[in-house]
Structure 1
């Protein structure tokens, strides 16, 4: 039987492209480096990867950029390691569908946002070539921003159709961009005229009927301080985003509402089940032996920022109303009762320590973890403020894992936690529900008929006069909520210009 030879790479059409490893390509690199437009190249090349499937160019480009930006995926890849891989980018489009049909510009932007990056996405009908050149020049002078392009290969005389790849550098003298082609089995990295790249992007993607384009991916600058986040890793996000954005405004119009407590009852009494999977506070977990008895400078800085956010939430007038409502005897929402029942320090400590052990051992789903013991301690170096740490020993049939959970807390609760070991000193249902209310769009409340109450609600949910850290926290949640709603409505390709 005759063996099929298959295909081994392609000859790069040159011109118009110039191969990166050629003499001319090397000279362009040297000059671009001297000109300051190769700053992001070294990060990208450190994490350069080949797409693992013919249709995974968008996923490979994005995972490469996310790793170059050192964005923590917050879930494990393999073993104990948290790392972006194409297989991790599955929250906005099923991998099997991407494998068979490819992916659109809007869905790649969706994935980037879902992964925790800041995204500015543009089609060619939403920007000019001068805008594009400006963005390329800006990003290539920085390690903190990278450009991913969506283009058609035909203008480069290359085989194939739509493709994604990051831009690795820019040569100002010749106005050429370096494409780090993730289909390395086909074409090597190559320089192309920026005007021709624009022409290749200014083509219609038949899957959407819209022009292709580009996106700028960067870190959320305040990510280290974020205490709360919305999750699209659980099925609850679909129902929750619809409930909060579509249903709550209607409920507030239809009810006879006379005071703030009634407003809270309307919002929370019908809240969907599993809403606790939708909004979470961000815990930091480490192996006990890795941490020793002290905290690193970075750990201290992150905890300090999170503690300030928690303190500012507790200072809001809305928090006081939420706490009063939760403590009332009329609390009848079963979904909320189940959420609050788990809202005790021993329950949360045991749960998070088990999750941490799964993450650190890489045995998620393979073993049943049981937290045999938890305790609350204070770590305090000379001259430092106390830090609350929940420690736990998690056992399985084959061994045990000691983990620490670094807990943001306030000075008042540190005394309770570190003194008697009782009390709920960590982010809990009252402040989680408070920030969720603050993140709702302004129009949510407009249907309240009582004018005096409406003004009171607007004052309670306003973040105009709160601490900048809390303002950024709310803006982050609001962006997440609005974005997830667009994903649910399948509008990410139509509303691309508003992703950022």
Structure 2
């Protein structure tokens, strides 16, 4: 009888200790997330003095390409990323908006999958994960393109006039912006005369840029340390009902 009473009296203390462990784990997790978010914001702060030679952030050529039909479809409802790690979902949201499929919030793209949303908050997303998110919207044909040569990339860029075609590029910022960090942004056009790409950077403060095709190709031919695979781009060909 005495032993049974002792065991019963130990149960509330055991529950309190377990609750304390869970609470401490939660505080530790929140602290880690806060630290990651602070570190991420520091990394993505724009520093134009680090931009590679040949990257244009102003000028007549940039203005002219921004006025082209494809860029205008993006600019009518273009939004920068809401969180330091959400460049992938932000890029996809802007693509959908350009195809007359507006999405109110980046989180809505996850269709209630809270775990996937939280994982994105902590670590960002890989090329294949953003492609899967795009496929889940039912927008049309979605494919991941890796190992593109410079000429392959130019050929694809020239096809941007194809109705409903959109490109989301995944690259390391280091060759272009001098900061080693994986990033996503949609492409808003191509200027064959200067061989530059209109990069619609979704990070606040970076703005739109004309990036030499060779430089963008080099930034894409980098390894994603999460997957060990080369970066690349997502090609989206919208269904006829959503095409331009």
TM-score, scaled to structure 2? 0.73
1:171 aligns with: 191
1:137 aligns with: 158
Question: Are residues 130 and 214 of structure 1, via their aligned partners in 2, closer, same or farther at CA, if it must alter by over 3 Å?
Answer: same
Pairs aligned (count): 198
**How far off its partner does 1:211 sit?**
0.5
Does the residue aligned with 2:91 lie in a helix, a strand or coil?
A: helix
Larger Rg: 1
1:104 aligns with: 126
CA distance in 2, matches of 1:172, 1:148: 19
CA distance in 2, matches of 1:223, 1:151: 27
Asked whether the equivalents of residues 157 and 190 of structure 2 are also in contact (C-alpha less than 8 Å), the reply is yes
Structure 1 residue 148 and structure 2 residue 186: aligned? no
Asked whether the equivalents of residues 191 and 197 of structure 2 are also in contact (C-alpha less than 8 Å), the reply is yes
Question: Are residues 223 and 45 of structure 1, via their aligned partners in 2, closer, same or farther at CA, if it must alter by over 3 Å?
Answer: closer
Pick from 115, 129, 141: which aligns with 1:119?
141
Asked whether the equivalents of residues 123 and 211 of structure 1 are also in contact (C-alpha less than 8 Å), the reply is no
Larger helix proportion, structure 1 or 2?
Answer: 2
Question: Are residues 135 and 129 of structure 1, via their aligned partners in 2, closer, same or farther at CA, if it must alter by over 3 Å?
Answer: same
**How far off its partner does 1:33 sit?**
7.3
CA distance in 2, matches of 1:132, 1:118: 21
Pairing of 1:236-255 with structure 2 (within 5 A): none
Pick from 182, 185, 188: which aligns with 2:207?
188
CA distance in 1, matches of 2:207, 2:108: 25
CA distance in 2, matches of 1:99, 1:45: 26
TM-score, scaled to structure 1? 0.37
**How far off its partner does 1:70 sit?**
1.4
Question: Which 5+ residue runs of structure 1 have no aligned equivalent?
Answer: 1-5, 73-82, 225-500
Question: Which 5+ residue runs of structure 2 have no aligned equivalent?
Answer: 1-40
- Larger RCO: Structure 1 or Structure 2 (Cα < 8 Å, ≥ 6 residues apart)? 2
CA distance in 2, matches of 1:52, 1:161: 17
Does the residue aligned with 2:110 lie in a helix, a strand or coil?
A: coil
Pick from 8, 11, 15: which aligns with 2:47?
11
Structure 1 residue 45 and structure 2 residue 67: aligned? no
Asked whether the equivalents of residues 164 and 242 of structure 2 are also in contact (C-alpha less than 8 Å), the reply is no
**How far off its partner does 1:197 sit?**
0.3
**How far off its partner does 1:14 sit?**
5.0
Structure 1 residue runs of 4+, over 4 Å off?
A: 6-9
Asked whether the equivalents of residues 66 and 72 of structure 2 are also in contact (C-alpha less than 8 Å), the reply is no
Asked whether the equivalents of residues 40 and 145 of structure 1 are also in contact (C-alpha less than 8 Å), the reply is no
Asked whether the equivalents of residues 197 and 212 of structure 2 are also in contact (C-alpha less than 8 Å), the reply is yes
Structure 1 residue 60 and structure 2 residue 90: aligned? yes
CA distance in 1, matches of 2:66, 2:198: 12
**How far off its partner does 1:168 sit?**
0.9
CA distance in 1, matches of 2:242, 2:203: 31
CA distance in 1, matches of 2:62, 2:73: 19
CA distance in 2, matches of 1:124, 1:138: 17
